[in-house]
Structure 1
Amino acid sequence: MNRAWWTLGLVVSSTIVGLMGTDLVLPAVPHLPEALGGDPARAQLVLAAYVGGSCIGLLGFGMLGDRVATPHLFIGSLLATAMLSLACGQAPTIGALIALRVVQGIVASGPAVFAPGIINAMFDEEGAVKAIGVLASIESLAPALAPIAGVALLALGGWQLSFEVMSGLAVVLAVLLAFTAKVPQVSRRRSGSFLALLGDLTFLRYAFSQAFVLGGLLVFVFGMPAVFVRVHGGTLTDFIVMQVCGIATFMVAANLTSRLVARMGAERVIAIGTWLAAAGAFAQFGYAVMGGRSAWVITALFVPVNSGLGLRGPPGFFRAILASHGDDARGSALVMLFVLGVAAMGTALVSPWIERGSIPVAGVALVLHALSVACLSFLPKLPEAGARA
């Protein structure tokens, strides 16, 4: 068991390296036009290119999981990430960096695809829900802490240092996984396909409900910095306080989930978490419609949304993997692709109206949370007996 948790720690750390591709590099983006040429708009493509590459990588690794051993793909992804990160740090122009970032995003998405399946292979249901809670808690810290580290790295060694640190961490983790841990084979189905999963209503129940809850939260998070500063006349400190409170409550809820699932069953915990998040989103929208601008009230109403996600996130993701019926890599890839897609589309819908305050942001978030509730209400559930004891 100790070895399993050591392996889990390395797996979680590997997924964080992938997340660093945006958050660690973010503080350097405004300085790229001076360093590499181009303009601020092209510099933003450095972020968009990585996200786009990640979407391609999710599908690619999902398919490769049927044909190549999980340890080889997992460690190979880390080594490829290390090489591409070094190459990014040596890019001579902004155009070259954008092109390299697409490839970097593709190769860096491997750990995120295989981590849930690895957890499924190492633990029983209670242990897996607990492990996914730990995974989600640590991953939730990355968007908050990585930009701070990025600022320090930028001051120490310029824009290249963030890429070099990412490369070094990827190499260290690859070596540790190869020589001190045993990465299990993720369950796979050679006859499986993405189309089969997309036609499975039970899988879609968990995948879409997960994507709508998390996507709704992300749309709100992505929109509120501009609302706080440009509309409410506040500062980024207001946003940081909201984020810290949200992350803290998410972590507490996510790490209580395994006990609640053992007592109440996974489906009930998923339902409670989904409805709690939706209630928080409804309260946020109601406060926005009433013209509310208090950062403290907005933060307080953000707490139930994060608590709800923390409760339903680990069992919801795990049951999505179970509902893929052995096609773990494709199932995990689709869930993450749905999350990215929902967050991107929701943010795009909000963007033209962002200077009208929190009503558009909270409104789109509420619609997404309502869709999550609808998924649980109308799509068939996985029988509790279908989960491993």
Structure 2
Amino acid sequence: MNRGWITLGLVVGSTIVGLMGTDLVLPAVPGLPEALGGDPAQAQLVLAAYVGGSCLGLLGYGVLGDRVATARLFIASLFATALLSVACALAPSMEALITLRAVQGLVASGPAVFAPGIVNAMFREEDAVRAIGVLGSIESLAPALAPVAGAALLTLGGWHLNFEVMAATAALLGVLLLASGGVPQVRRRGKGSFVALLRDATFLRYALSQALVLGGLLVFVFGMPTVFVRVHGGTLTDFIVMQACGIVTFMVAANFATRAVRRHGVEQVIAAGTWLALAGALAQFLYALTGGTSALVITALFVPVNTGLGLRGPPGFFRAILAAHGDDARASALVILFVLGAAAVGTALVSPWIELGSAPVAGAALAFHAVSTLCLVLLPKLREGAAAA
């Protein structure tokens, strides 16, 4: 079991490498036009290309999981990420960097696809819920801390150093996984398909409810920096405090989820977390409609949303994997794609009205949380026999 938790730590670190691709590089983006030529719009494509490549990679790894050993794909993804990161650091122009970033995003998405299946293979359900809670807690810190680290690296060595550190981290994790015996092979029970999962109402119950809760939270988070600064007359400190409180709350709730599942049952915890997040989102929207602009109140109302996600996140994600009946890679890829899609669609819909205040942002987030709750009400649960199989 101790070795299992060490392996889990390396797996978590590997998934964070993929997150580093956006957040660690973010501080360097404004200075890229001066360094490589081009304009600020092209510099934003350095981020967009990575996200687009990641989406393609999620689908690609989901299919490859049927044909190539998961352990090989996992470690190969890390070494490929290291090579592409070095290539990015050596890019001679903005156009070359954008192209390389798309390929980097494609290869770097492997660990995120395979991590839940590996956890499933390593632990019993109760320990797996705990492990996924740890995974989510650590991953939730990455978006908050990586930009700070990226800014420090930019000061120390310029934009090249951001990519060089990503390369070194990916390579080191690959070497450590090989030295520790590698990741366990995920047991597959026959080939599946994305179409089959999309037709499976039980899988959609957990995948969509998971993605919509997290997607709704992300829509709110993505919109609030502009709202705090441009509409409410505050500062980025207001947003940082809100985000920090949300992350801490999520971490506490996610690590409490295992105990809650043991005491109350998986479905009860998923439902309670979903309804709690919905209640928090509704309170945020009602406060926005009254014209409220207090950063303290907005932060306080953000707490139940993160608590709900923390409670339902680990068991909900793990149930989505179980509902795939062995098609772990595709299931994980679809959940992440649903999250990215929900966040992207919600952010795009809100953007024309972002300067009207927090009501449009909170309203869009509330809509996502409401649909997530409907998924639990209308779609069938995983049968206990299937969960144990």
Q: TM-score range by the shorter chain?
A: over 0.9
* Contact kept? 2:260, 2:269, Cα under 8 Å: yes
CA distance in 1 between partners of 2:315 and 2:340 (Å): 19
CA distance in 1 between partners of 2:272 and 2:21 (Å): 34
CA distance in 1 between partners of 2:188 and 2:355 (Å): 47
Task: Return the offset for 1:383.
Answer: 1.9
CA distance in 1 between partners of 2:387 and 2:265 (Å): 11
- Which segments of 5 or more consecutive residues in structure 2 lack a partner in the other structure? none
CA distance in 2 between partners of 1:91 and 1:182 (Å): 32
CA distance in 1 between partners of 2:28 and 2:242 (Å): 24
Task: Return the offset for 1:190.
Answer: 4.0
Residue in structure 2 matched with residue 29 of structure 1 by the alignment: 29
Residue in structure 1 matched with residue 102 of structure 2 by the alignment: 102
- Post-superposition Cα deviations, 1:108-138, rounded to whole Å, max 9, x if no partner, equal 0000000000000000000000000000000
CA distance in 2 between partners of 1:270 and 1:321 (Å): 15
Question: Mapping of 1:326-341 within 5 angstroms?
Answer: 326-341=326-341
- Post-superposition Cα deviations, 1:65-105, rounded to whole Å, max 9, x if no partner, equal 01111111000000000000000111111111111110000
* Contact kept? 1:124, 1:388, Cα under 8 Å: no
Q: Specify the code of the residue in structure 1 equivalent to 2:331.
A: G
SS in structure 2 of the partner of residue 387 of structure 1: helix
CA distance in 1 between partners of 2:277 and 2:188 (Å): 33
Question: Mapping of 1:138-177 within 5 angstroms?
Answer: 138-177=138-177
Identical-pair percentage: 77
- Which segments of 5 or more consecutive residues in structure 1 lack a partner in the other structure? none
Task: Return the offset for 1:189.
Answer: 4.4
SS in structure 2 of the partner of residue 237 of structure 1: helix
* Contact kept? 2:191, 2:327, Cα under 8 Å: no
- Post-superposition Cα deviations, 1:219-246, rounded to whole Å, max 9, x if no partner, equal 0000000000000000000000000000
Residue in structure 2 matched with residue 307 of structure 1 by the alignment: 307
* Contact kept? 2:16, 2:139, Cα under 8 Å: yes
Q: Specify the code of the residue in structure 2 equivalent to 1:335.
A: V
Question: Larger deviation: 174-183 or 262-271?
Answer: 174-183
Aligned-CA RMSD value: 0.8
Task: Detail structure 1 runs of 4+ shifted over 6 Å in the superposition.
Answer: none
Question: Mapping of 1:66-81 within 5 angstroms?
Answer: 66-81=66-81
Instruction: Number of aligned residue pairs: give it.
Output: 389
Q: Specify the code of the residue in structure 2 equivalent to 1:73.
A: L
Residue in structure 2 matched with residue 40 of structure 1 by the alignment: 40
CA distance in 2 between partners of 1:188 and 1:211 (Å): 24
Question: Mapping of 1:177-196 within 5 angstroms?
Answer: 177-196=177-196
TM-score, length-normalised on structure 2? 0.99
Q: Specify the code of the residue in structure 2 equivalent to 1:18.
A: G
TM-score, length-normalised on structure 1? 0.99
* Contact kept? 1:6, 1:181, Cα under 8 Å: no
CA distance in 2 between partners of 1:380 and 1:303 (Å): 29
* Contact kept? 2:190, 2:326, Cα under 8 Å: no
CA distance in 2 between partners of 1:206 and 1:246 (Å): 23
Q: Specify the code of the residue in structure 1 equivalent to 2:210.
A: Q
Task: Return the offset for 1:164.
Answer: 0.2
CA distance in 2 between partners of 1:154 and 1:133 (Å): 32
Q: Specify the code of the residue in structure 2 equivalent to 1:379.
A: L
Q: Specify the code of the residue in structure 1 equivalent to 2:86.
A: L
